Amino acid sequence: MTERGLFVGRFQPFHLGHSFAIKYILEKVNNLIVLVGSAQFSYTWRNPFTAGERIEMIYRSLDKHDLEKVLIIPVDDTYERNYIWVRHVENYTPKFSVVFSNDFLTRRLFLDAGYSVLNVPFYNRKEVSGTRIRQLMAEEKEWKNLVPNGSREVIEEIGGEKRVRMIFQSRRIENFSY
Amino acid sequence: MTERGLFVGRFQPFHLGHSFAIKYILEKVNNLIVLVGSAQFSYTWRNPFTAGERIEMIYRSLDKHDLEKVLIIPVDDTYERNYIWVRHVENYTPKFSVVFSNDFLTRRLFLDAGYSVLNVPFYNRKEVSGTRIRQLMAEEKEWKNLVPNGSREVIEEIGGEKRVRMIFQSRRIENFSY
Amino acid sequence: MTERGLFVGRFQPFHLGHSFAIKYILEKVNNLIVLVGSAQFSYTWRNPFTAGERIEMIYRSLDKHDLEKVLIIPVDDTYERNYIWVRHVENYTPKFSVVFSNDFLTRRLFLDAGYSVLNVPFYNRKEVSGTRIRQLMAEEKEWKNLVPNGSREVIEEIGGEKRVRMIFQSRRIENFSY
Amino acid sequence: MTERGLFVGRFQPFHLGHSFAIKYILEKVNNLIVLVGSAQFSYTWRNPFTAGERIEMIYRSLDKHDLEKVLIIPVDDTYERNYIWVRHVENYTPKFSVVFSNDFLTRRLFLDAGYSVLNVPFYNRKEVSGTRIRQLMAEEKEWKNLVPNGSREVIEEIGGEKRVRMIFQSRRIENFSY
Amino acid sequence: MTERGLFVGRFQPFHLGHSFAIKYILEKVNNLIVLVGSAQFSYTWRNPFTAGERIEMIYRSLDKHDLEKVLIIPVDDTYERNYIWVRHVENYTPKFSVVFSNDFLTRRLFLDAGYSVLNVPFYNRKEVSGTRIRQLMAEEKEWKNLVPNGSREVIEEIGGEKRVRMIFQSRRIENFSY
Amino acid sequence: MTERGLFVGRFQPFHLGHSFAIKYILEKVNNLIVLVGSAQFSYTWRNPFTAGERIEMIYRSLDKHDLEKVLIIPVDDTYERNYIWVRHVENYTPKFSVVFSNDFLTRRLFLDAGYSVLNVPFYNRKEVSGTRIRQLMAEEKEWKNLVPNGSREVIEEIGGEKRVRMIFQSRRIENFSY
């Protein structure tokens, strides 16, 4: 086995920044685990899509010849039990040696556990982020050009846009519960 | 067995809007499950009363001859694991065919699971809502005319008004922890 | 409110001993909570039926005029966290003053929490017990005369007999997992 | 997307019966999810290997050109909450239409959820089963010819044989806790 | 056994107000349990330090001759299941008779469970509170004079200041997840 | 800080073997964490006593001048999630460098995590073990000479002998649930 990387994200949804990052990472390591974090959550503003839906987005968006080098693995959030989170991830993943993430907490936790941690170059960060894409969906604006075809397909098949809009409206009348 | 409905709420507290809705629903179906959601929580701003206290409010507020047509069932929240929530509810409830709810997420989840979902007419929605009643309690204003006698009785017996006020004050000095 | 009792069981399935006990208890107290324990489990040898199915059995087996005096409430097992179990039950139930159970641990836990605890007379205990009825189902022997009509109906509707038999066979080739 | 299958197992360890089954299944469907069940457990007699270790065994044992058709996904056991288990699985998996399993409970749960369920032909079942292979490891007998090279490699790298032996001895002095 | 007190806090971090309170309490009771609450959380803004790190701070800050009168016990938060929280605490603690806390909810829950509850005199409350000290750390201002030497030592050893700053920055770009 | 040890046990109950071991360990290290494992369980055959009761037994049995060198910390079992168990323990404990245990699994898990692990000399192992003492209690035979005075006192105060006997009888009519 040669070097294996770990790329951590929630992928809500999987967008061009993510696919760009994976291409970049596959030039550095010859094997990659894509970790689908917060896997238990769905139908919330931060996590509208299920882990299965997110895995499908990634699977369909990756280049076919890259698939044999990539494992896509869902891992639950540990509800702020952050100290054990890295160990929890290690339980569900084959061994890896280098972690790719720009998230401060993720970086810190893996560094403290002895891993190499590398940044991922941003791809038009201002426009391409999960938060912004969900916002665009909620406001019925254009978002389809910000995700790979695989993601677009899956989101259409599951009625994802409508789902995000419903959650958005729900939040606006937030604390109301008849 | 004839048709059975499911009425979903948190009932914090059970108020006139809820009892009005149940009367309305019992004209449509001849059997009803009243689902007491977020059953594990209590002594918080959104959920001051325990599931047992809420069940007592409902039990005492219903017409005696309606009780034989109604099952009151507490079900825990699944902590944002929304995708499995309907199935989780089904585990704790006898079979039902039609769901009554005005909440967007609840409606969407039951629709996706193949249920008929109907709206419930609002009863003076601006004045009668759980959030508003809790706010009135916290500010020592009049709320007793917004709930059925059964609820009023229970809230008095358990010192509910004082409890809500305590939680309200606690929130104001929120992040303070000596 | 007059005195309320709590009757604790798993009701796998609800049988003649249980319905006999409820009749007996309703002569002692004028209000009763039937607690459906281990509510989260199903499709196992000890707990083949879901809480919802068990609630349906009880609901259909009770005399119609008794229904207005009875609350049927499902409560999860706390996975051997026995010390907090009574408190956990109290969270989901309206106040009660006397507990009916023949189970040693249940009796001890409620006694230690300050409740009156009473035994329930056995109804042909040797023949009528959940364990024996499940065994009869598994061996395709006669069991229908040991449960009220309501239970029989529900078990037939859900294919309960076949389910129990499947679990029984599964256990025999137990640790096998291809 | 064409038809996708789901193959359910615990893979403790991944053996020749499993790899034989996957070859068979990939002749029926052109896409496959290999579900690594009971993913949270490890270092026990029934589940000595972590989900990550089991995923590595599978990944290394599959034919390289099959990897692009296969997703390997770990899913936790729901601790006897069997009624919600299928839904729980669906949360972590892309859509699939046909389930491959010889386990009675797994088959029943997926059938009740509306899936096609097919048996998998056994490969020398008497000699090749997880239970038997763990027993052989514990007794320091020959087991390496019963697993694919990928599994053998991983088990050697992690000291798996020694681990199984340790657990086996631990069980013999079972309830002892100084 | 003579009278034993319970002092409840999260100790994020253990500061001069806490050590002052313990001195005060040890004049009232001759034995004390220091309860380290929300013990499962760490690396968050409200709970940056692990339970073990907080226990170490307390252990090193107490007077050596007080140690034999004090038990330091970590207890997990029950995630808003407040009604069972006191019972949950009692599971992990030896018997005590009087509770020391200024927190409204803590006081109410222990009062309802039948305990004596006493306030603790504040020690320069405006300057010495966990929230303020974490804020000072985040802004690279002076905080070391607000904690006992034991806490300062531990925070230095674990790089606590840097950790708090990292979490603080993380919060500022909060919902961002690449 | 000088070297700190960790002594792992369930202490059901804390007996002479345990107190003998602690004396032995305190000759090797000048600071000790006594880890009360499986802390969430009680009122079962393997774990009759709550964590709080076990902590009290240990606290009263230790030499007063040893108390300032010893931390007694309860930690929950992780329900067979063994791979994360060491990390879970580390979350609740101050740093330690050497682990004392004779249990195979405990030793293996701490060794794999990089700790020094030492055996503890047995003190009349055939007669003095938790399992045997519980058995003696159940059969109303002599057990008091096998535990330190502190344990004996606590067990008497809480009616521990009667509790163990009740659980023992409960097990004999095991699967019975009326």
- Name the percent of chain E lying above pLDDT 90: 93
Inform me whether the C-beta atom of residue B90 falls under 8 Å from chain D C-beta atoms: yes
Q: Chain A residues with CB inside 8 Å of D94's CB? A: 52-53, 55-56, 59
Inform me whether the C-beta atom of residue C54 falls under 8 Å from chain F C-beta atoms: no
Inform me whether the C-beta atom of residue C64 falls under 8 Å from chain E C-beta atoms: no
Q: Chain C residues with CB inside 8 Å of B95's CB? A: 52, 56
- Written as tens digits, the pLDDT of chain A (178 aa) is 579 999 999 999 999 999 999 999 999 999 999 999 999 999 999 999 999 999 999 999 999 999 999 999 999 999 999 999 999 999 999 999 999 999 999 999 999 999 999 999 989 989 999 999 999 999 999 999 999 999 999 999 999 999 999 999 988 665 444 3
| Helix, coil or strand: residue E159 | coil
- Mean pLDDT value of segment B7-22: 98
A-F contacts at Cβ under 8 angstroms: 16
What pLDDT is stored for residue F176 in this prediction?
A: 42
What pLDDT is stored for residue C178 in this prediction?
A: 38
What pLDDT is stored for residue C171 in this prediction?
A: 80
Question: Cβ of D166 and F108 within 8 Å?
Answer: yes
Q: Chain A residues with CB inside 8 Å of D93's CB? A: 52, 55
Tell me the pTM. 0.96
What pLDDT is stored for residue E173 in this prediction?
A: 62
Which of F10, F79, F164, F177 is best to mutate for the C interface (most C CBs within 10 A)?
F177
Q: Chain C residues with CB inside 8 Å of B39's CB? A: 91-92
Q: What is the 3-state secondary structure (H, E, C) of D86-97?
A: HHHHHHHCCCCC
What pLDDT is stored for residue A122 in this prediction?
A: 87
> What is the chain A residue with the closest CA to D64?
A68
pLDDT score of E110 more than 50: yes
| List of chains touching F (3+ CB pairs within 8 A) | A, C, D, E
Mean pLDDT computed over every residue of chain C: 94
- Amino acid D70 reads V
Q: Taking the CA atoms of B153, B154, B157 and B162 in sequence, report the sign of the dihedral they define.
A: negative
Inform me whether the C-beta atom of residue B126 falls under 8 Å from chain A C-beta atoms: no
- Mean pLDDT value of segment E22-50: 97
Question: Cβ of F74 and E76 within 8 Å?
Answer: no
Inform me whether the C-beta atom of residue C81 falls under 8 Å from chain D C-beta atoms: no
β-strands A4-9, B116-118: how paired?
Answer: unpaired
B-E contacts at Cβ under 8 angstroms: 51
β-strands C98-100, B4-9: how paired?
Answer: unpaired
A122 Cβ contact partners less than 8 Å away, ≥ 6 residues apart? A17, A102, E178
Q: Chain A residues with CB inside 8 Å of E160's CB? A: none
Which of A18, A54, A105, A171 is best to mutate for the E interface (most E CBs within 10 A)?
A105
Place of tokens 């941690």: A117
- Name the percent of chain F lying above pLDDT 70: 96
Q: For B97, which DSSP code?
A: S
| List of chains touching C (3+ CB pairs within 8 A) | B, D, E, F
Write out pLDDT tens, residues F25-68: 999 999 999 999 999 999 999 999 999 999 999 999 999 999 99
Write out pLDDT tens, residues B122-176: 899 999 999 999 999 999 999 999 999 999 999 999 999 999 999 999 886 654 4
pLDDT score of B82 more than 90: yes
Cβ atoms of residues D9 and D35 within 8 Å: yes
Cβ atoms of residues E8 and E101 within 8 Å: yes
What pLDDT is stored for residue B175 in this prediction?
A: 43
Inform me whether the C-beta atom of residue C172 falls under 8 Å from chain B C-beta atoms: no
- Mean pLDDT value of segment D91-116: 96
Domains of chain C: 4-172 (3.40.50.620)
What pLDDT is stored for residue B176 in this prediction?
A: 42
Cβ atoms of residues A94 and D59 within 8 Å: yes
Q: Chain A residues with CB inside 8 Å of B79's CB? A: 79
What pLDDT is stored for residue A175 in this prediction?
A: 43
What pLDDT is stored for residue A149 in this prediction?
A: 98
- Name the percent of chain B lying above pLDDT 70: 96
Laid out side by side, the sheet with E31-36 consists of E70-74, E31-36, E4-9, E98-100, E116-118
- H helices of chain A, where? 16-28, 51-61, 85-92, 104-112, 130-138, 149-157, 160-172
| Helix, coil or strand: residue C129 | coil
Q: Chain A residues with CB inside 8 Å of E81's CB? A: none
* Secondary structure (DSSP) of C40-69: T-BSSSS--S-HHHHHHHHHHHS-GGGGGG
* CA E74/CA E93 separation, integer angstroms: 9
Cβ atoms of residues A78 and A84 within 8 Å: yes
* CA A106/CA A103 separation, integer angstroms: 5
Which of D87, D92, D95, D112 is best to mutate for the B interface (most B CBs within 10 A)?
D87
- Amino acid F147 reads V
Taking alpha carbons only, the member of A117, A128, A134 closest to residue A16 is A128
Whole-angstrom CA distances from C146 to C142, D56, F128, F177 are: 9, 52, 48, 15
Residue D98's pLDDT band (boundaries 50, 70, 90)? very high
- H helices of chain B, where? 16-28, 51-61, 85-92, 104-112, 130-138, 149-157, 160-172
β-strands F5-9, E98-100: how paired?
Answer: unpaired
**Which one of D82, D104, D125 has the shortest CB-CB distance to C44?**
D82
* Secondary structure (DSSP) of D32-71: EEEEE-STT-BSSSS--S-HHHHHHHHHHHS-GGGGGGEE
Q: For F97, which DSSP code?
A: S
Laid out side by side, the sheet with D116-118 consists of D70-74, D32-36, D5-9, D98-100, D116-118
User: Could you tell me the two tokens for C1?
Assistant: 């409110």
Taking alpha carbons only, the member of B80, B98, B130, B171 closest to residue A173 is B130
What pLDDT is stored for residue D115 in this prediction?
A: 97
